[in-house]
Structure 1
């Protein structure tokens, strides 16, 4: 950038016409504008609020070609961050645990006890699942998603790899730039209470996303 400006203003100082100078200054301004990071105008913290009913998706743009979604599933929703119309979930590769119950999956049976006879309360029938507060992490681009995904292939199936490869995967995954998010459920209406697992009929929620520096 400094080199570009040096060349431009050297040409002006050499005695170019006023018209030539104007064109060069215009070119310099265009270079400055086009060199700004794509997401510079976006705030680091994004807050959302929403409501969804069973089978309905929720979608909100949070940055250029980056969307927060609730994707409907049989018993609730999956928290999703990623590109529009894409399948790669930028939350799934950096929000542990990577096996079993995970905070990005919001399902009705999480809020009922193990035999679906009552609410999920402390005691022998308690279901060890996240409740109204769902905390998660996310990457912000496809390149980091791919790096996280490839590292997890090593970390989740380590018996296939050498110690050196496992250490490299751990280091690569730990160094990824990650954002932090939380979804707070304000209101929840369950359905299928008479079946083996409860689903969700309606959810109202608030979301806060903090992007990496």
Structure 2
């Protein structure tokens, strides 16, 4: 009986720790917004077709700092309608990194993202996914020396401003009309005109784990800075 009780206590303890790890972490960092002119090229033309540069009149940038540990969800309200999130991401190991998310609510948590279909490339590796092995060489014996083709500590991403617009883009993507192309019928709405902007995550400190040769590293903790470019209020 004592052995059973001991086993039960251990199981409940592990379950409690797992629950804590999956919960959103409290955010105590303040957001600072200041006027700014757009640092991005004017959208339009063939050069922009792949980059999807912001097509709004950028008038301010909102900045904040944060930190997150393995398995945690990070949430930070930017405005009343926009929330920045880092959601645990699994590539080689469970919760070995995070996905960058912009959404409109602190609930769900952060399950609806307004980012992926407006942040190229639309196939393969993307800057919105942050994984530990991105920062190691091919053999996982030292820092990335270029042998692993992956985004590094600065991650740019695009986003739209609401669920309705993102769903319109998603429907077009499912019908092979996104990204916009000549194959789409002339009557299709010009979804490239849906308002979109850009954010930048800069990783300032990184603690990696599983640094075993020929395996894949994961991220144990990360500190970062975020800039979100918004229209004039």
Same fold (TM over 0.5): yes
Please give the alpha-carbon distance, in whole angstroms, between the structure 1 residues aligned to 2:177 and 2:121.
11
Match for 2:183 among 159, 163, 179? 163
Whole-Å separation in 2 of the counterparts to 1:164 and 1:149: 15
Asked if 1:75 corresponds to 2:96, the answer is: yes
Deviation (angstroms), 1:154: 3.0
Name the structure 2 match of 1:144. 165
Higher percent of residues as helix? 1
The residue aligned with 2:73 is 57
Following superposition, the deviation at residue 116 of structure 1 comes to: 1.5
Residues 197 and 117 (structure 1), Cα distance of their counterparts in 2 relative to 1, 3 Å cut: same
Q: Indicate yes or no: 2:203 matched with 1:185.
A: yes
Deviation at 1:118, TM superposition (A): 1.9
Q: Which residue number in structure 1 is paired with residue 133 of structure 2?
A: 109
2:227 paired with 1:208 = yes
The alignment's TM-score, normalised by the length of structure 2, stands at 0.64
Q: So what's the TM-score if we normalise by structure 1?
A: 0.69
Gaps of 5+ in 2: 1-58, 90-94
TM-superposed deviation, 1:162: 9.1
8 Å contact from structure 1 (residues 137, 180) kept in 2: yes
Distance 2:129 2:187 in 1: 29
Quote the Cα distance in structure 2 between the aligned partners of 1:109 and 1:51: 19
Contact 1:151-1:172 at 8 Å conserved across structures? no
> How many Å apart are 1:190 and its aligned residue?
0.6
CA contact (8 A) 1:178 1:211 kept: no
CA RMSD, aligned part only?
A: 2.5
Deviation at 1:206, TM superposition (A): 0.3
Q: Is structure 2 residue 217 aligned with structure 1 residue 198?
A: yes
Q: Alignment partner of 2:102: what SS? A: strand
